[in-house]
A and B are shown apart, each in its own frame.
Chain A
Amino acid sequence: MNAPVFAPWTDQSAEPMIRFRNVTKKFGDFTAISNLNLDIYEKEFFALLGPSGCGKTTMMRMLAGFEEPTSGDIIVSGDNIGHLPPNQRPVNMMFQSYALFPHLSVWENIAFGLRRDKLPKDQISARVDEMLKLTRLEKFARRKPHQISGGQRQRVALARSLAKAPKLLLLDEPLGALDKKLREATQFELMDIQEKTGTTFVIVTHDQEEAMTVASRIAVMDEGKLVQVDTPDRLYENPNSRYVADFVGDVNIIEAKASPLDGDRYALHWSEAEDALIGTTSTALSDGQSCYMAIRPEKIAISADRPEDAANAVQGKVEDIGYLGNMSTYHVRLNSGSLIKAQVANQRRISRRAFAWEDPVWLSWTATAGVVLAD
């Protein structure tokens, strides 16, 4: 039996919880967000991904109420909150620096928001204890923020922002200050907590691996615009542009001129010295139109002899080997001079490695392994 897949964005009748409608934000002459439309659904774990300066933080600060849109509406659960002050929004935020109040204990930090709502004492105490339990911080309730470690501070910040049970939780680069091991553990913890509480999470990050791990959908941004909004697997496998293919994951991008074969298959002429590559795309390309083939390194096979049935095969010499432990990245210089990266899982121990530096090798991939992009 299959569990129902969580995908409200495919359901035409689903009402989005957050709607950005024609939102523009300008700082003086600089346009941080330009005429942006975006729907985010209830219980989603939504990631805003992009390089620094792409406008993702501005989007989040507009949701939190620290910035007002220059024009356009931001609607949360049917209310236009674009110009509401931050203390009147059903939204809480977890800050990149955690922003824990240094003069208050962990307990008082978590209780801060509840106290502002003038809740009765026993309710506050019960809720704080619940949050401490959720984030496994019971032992540290009486400590001050400087008396706990970075990972614990991160959990206090999360507990504090979740204490008021907001409809929407914003996370601004929440794991940036943690080391790699702790970051990975915390990613799964975040997903777990999101599932338990049923809160809608919007996370801002520049780390594409983090976005892919935690998010149900990812919006890739560039220069104040949304480039692609999609699920992690579709972003990775079906990027709609060179920008997305390049930003999400590792990729080889080959510039070529297309000439139609049959159906959605195209021959891609990319080098005088090499045979044309074969690729497929659903977008119609005219004869001679310039396009790009994006092919992920792990989808390229490496072999000593030319594989007989491969749609695409090129020959070159191993120039560099990046050993990552679980896999190795081979940089192969083709006879025509271009460099192609191929990634191979290290199923055998390294002493049995089949290829070494300067070995001549064949790289091959199927016609559907890569993506052909018009821009």
Chain B
Amino acid sequence: MNRLSPFNIVSLTLGFAFLYIPMLILVIYSFNGGRLVTVWSGFSTKWYGELFQNEAFLDAALVTLKVAVISSTIAAVLGTMAAYVLVRGGRFLGRTLFSGMIYAPLVMPEVITGLSLLLLFIGIGLDRGVLTIVLAHTTFAMCYVSVVVSSRLVTFDRSLEEAALDLGATPFETFRLVTLPIIAPAVISGWLLAFTLSLDDLVIASFTSGPSSTTLPIKIYSAVRLGVSPEINALSTIMIGIVAVGVITASLVSKQQLIRAKRDEQEAARTE
């Protein structure tokens, strides 16, 4: 192991302090016994109990999950299709225009996206609710999916697709049996990206949600305006926990796979 120099230790500490001290404080205060958020008055888990009694929060969480699952799934399908056409379609008329337009929502201010969607929904007389949030989230999340998937497709060995065609597969079979299984990890990470973006989106959701369909970020935001309650600390801690478990599991699994692949290759080299 290399020893770190003092400079490196300082920069490491500073960096991680900036990133994690706010969250750490939030987690600590979620176990605070008192109602005042900034005054410590003993360890307690009562706010977690209260949280699960609060139906408004639970409803909002359910709506958020529903929106996130549906919109990220649609976005994964549409984004993959768009990426495939842009990378594989060759040079067709208007290709540059299309590829520019698909990435535009990435740089578009969310307020503008939200406002224009709101105007559209009012214009066509669509009642605001879960459906409109799903549509809105699909719109901006599919760009992210298409960026992730197209970067995978660019490095994809085309001779694999040619080999499938050569062996008698139709173009559709080639996509289903060869291309899709190989780019699946990229599609899944695109889906996850879309899912998280949808989970924590506040701006677009607040433009497109209706009175009956409040998402969790909107709920938290409006609750905080009335004063930070310890319940929100508890809710945030749970969310941090879920995300942390997800990230750690994913990295452990991929590390395992890497080790296994390396071992397999070494074994293969020996059997020659």
Contacts and interface: CB of A to CB of B under 8 A. Distances in A.
Mutual binders A and B: yes
Interface in A232-281: none
Contacts, number: 81
Contact of A146 (B181, B182, B264): B264
B271 A97 contact: no
Interface in A138-193: 143-144, 146-152, 160-161, 164
Contacts of A102: 182
Contacts of B157: 97, 99
Contacts of B181: 103
Interface magnitude class on chain A: 20 to 34
B91 to A, nearest CB: 11
Given A101-B178, A102-B182, A64 B268 contact: no
A150 B265 CA distance: 10
Contacts of A99: 157, 159-160, 162-163
Contacts of B265: 146-147
Interface stretch (B12-20, B136-144, B165-173, B244-252): B165-173
A122 interface: no
Contact of A92 (B167, B182, B272): B167
B180 to A, nearest CB: 10
A66 B162 contact: yes
A352 to B, nearest CB: 39
A148 B268 contact: yes
Interface in B146-183: 157, 159-160, 162-171, 173, 177-178, 181-182
Contacts of B168: 87-88, 113, 116-117, 164
A86 B165 contact: yes
User: DSSP class of B's interface residues: helix, strand, loop or mixed?
Assistant: helix
Given A102-B182, A116-B173, A146-B261, A160 B272 contact: no
Contacts of A87: 165-171
A148 B272 CA distance: 8
A112 interface: yes
B167 A149 contact: no
Contacts of B21: none
Nearest to A116: B168
A71 B82 CA distance: 34
A95 interface: yes
Given A95-B159, A103-B181, A160 B268 contact: no
A67 B265 CA distance: 35
Interface in B167-205: 167-171, 173, 177-178, 181-182
B170 to A, nearest CB: 6
Contacts of B173: 116
B267 interface: yes
Nearest to B271: A149
A85 interface: yes
A99 B163 CA distance: 7
B163 A103 contact: no
A193 B159 CA distance: 24
A218 interface: no
A116 B167 contact: yes
B269 interface: yes
A280 to B, nearest CB: 48
A152 B165 contact: no
A164 B163 CA distance: 13
B272 A113 contact: no
A214 interface: no
A101 B166 CA distance: 13
Nearest to B160: A99
A149 B160 contact: no
A112 B268 contact: no
Contacts of A361: none
Contact of A116 (B159, B169, B261, B272): B169
Contacts of A32: none
7 contacts: A99-B162, A147-B264, A148-B268, A151-B272, A152-B268, A152-B271, A164-B168
Q: Top 10 closest A-B pairs, CB basis?
A: A113-B167, A116-B168, A99-B163, A149-B272, A99-B159, A147-B264, A86-B165, A103-B181, A95-B159, A148-B268
Given A97-B157, A101-B160, A112-B164, 13 more contacts: A65-B165, A66-B165, A87-B171, A97-B159, A99-B159, A101-B178, A112-B167, A116-B169, A143-B268, A147-B267, A148-B268, A149-B268, A150-B272
